[in-house]
Amino acid sequence: MKKKIKIYLFNPYPSLGGVDTTLKRFFLSLDLNYEIEYLSLKKTEKFNKQNIKNTVINSSSTFKAFFKIYNIVKKDTHENKYFFSTQYFVNVWSVIFIKLILKEKLFIYEVLPVSYFNYYNSYKELIKNKILKIFVKFLYKYADIIASCSKELSKDLSKYVNKEVITIYNPCYKKSIKIKRAYKKKQKIRILNIARFESQKDHFTLLKAINHTNLKDQINLTLVGYGKNLKSIKEFIKVNKINAKILTKENKLDKFYKNNDLYVCTSVFEGLPTTVVEAASYGMPIISSDFKTGSNEIFKNGNAGSIFKVGDHKELSKLIMQFYKDPKIFFSKATNCRENLYRFSIKKNTDLFKKTIKRLD
């Protein structure tokens, strides 16, 4: 009889975002030979599988949580123990506590570009990012496996930490989806954006772009998300009389992809956005910022989607008006995009994840 392998998955702040969707698909794909304990700092939606246990760590920060996690892992009597974590601010502590001190097997998965460290909203964040970047450079090399969600990110991160980084795309493409789109030019445009209401997602570039067009009455905007910028987004919409509805408690997104005409992504940076690939799966034409990383991998350098410079609301405004006047080229690109989404298939990437986990044996 095969001995059970214990995997600790640490995701301190679970939410309804793309990272959590990816983690759920990865770990639900593992067979019952793996005993999984999902560690977090707040309650999460329970994984509906008998070999997965959810444990909430009572701590005020990720760093402090690791002192408790250290004791949990140290007391574990499983012969084989693996630790999995994601995102820079978690991964550096995983290396120190789990790999360097406890000497356990460590798999880290990165979802943010190396350029992430260049973005900050205060002097405190600037200092924090500079320190974190140094930690990443000198600590990541000790992990047993490093993986990321896009080839561009893997290449950049590998160069920065001087170690191989495997690419395991977000498992988010469903080949079985077949939607016929019937939008005709000069009809009302139903625009969709699904993203947390945070500065990284840059909703104000989209709102400014709509406000800059002469089509405001012809645009119905749907924003799905949650976050600290919700109040200011609502205020901008009200002041500028934009036709928009905001939904903050939605976790079933299929209906939005089916019932809207155009998906717009305005992110400043990404690892590789799950919702954009899902929108493309439903055949939605997409206009996107040229965020790092992964935009070229999804949109084939502009041949499979319409691209504008990060933060350029005037360029985005022109693209929205072009879609209104003649959407044909946008639908042609959408078809091209969907035909190349096999790289992000759920089965292909969960299989690769399972294969990669076995490298720890």
Nearby residues of 16 by Cβ (< 8 Å), 6 or more positions away: 226, 251
Q: What is the reported pLDDT for 16?
A: 67
The one-letter amino acid at 222: T
pTM above 0.85, yes or no: yes
Length of the chain: 361
Q: What is the reported pLDDT for 1?
A: 44
Q: What is the reported pLDDT for 262?
A: 97
Q: Tell which residue, 295, 297, 296, 299, has the closest CA to residue 284.
A: 299
Q: What is the reported pLDDT for 133?
A: 97
41: left (phi over 0), alpha (psi -120 to 50) or beta: alpha
Interior/surface letters 44-55, b for 16+ CB within 10 angstroms, e for the rest = beebeeebbebe
Q: What is the reported pLDDT for 323?
A: 96
List of domains in the chain: 5-171+345-358 (3.40.50.2000), 189-343 (3.40.50.2000)
pLDDT along the chain (361 residues), means of 10: 84 84 93 94 81 93 97 95 97 98 98 94 93 98 97 97 97 78 85 96 98 95 96 98 93 90 96 92 95 92 94 98 95 92 93 96 87
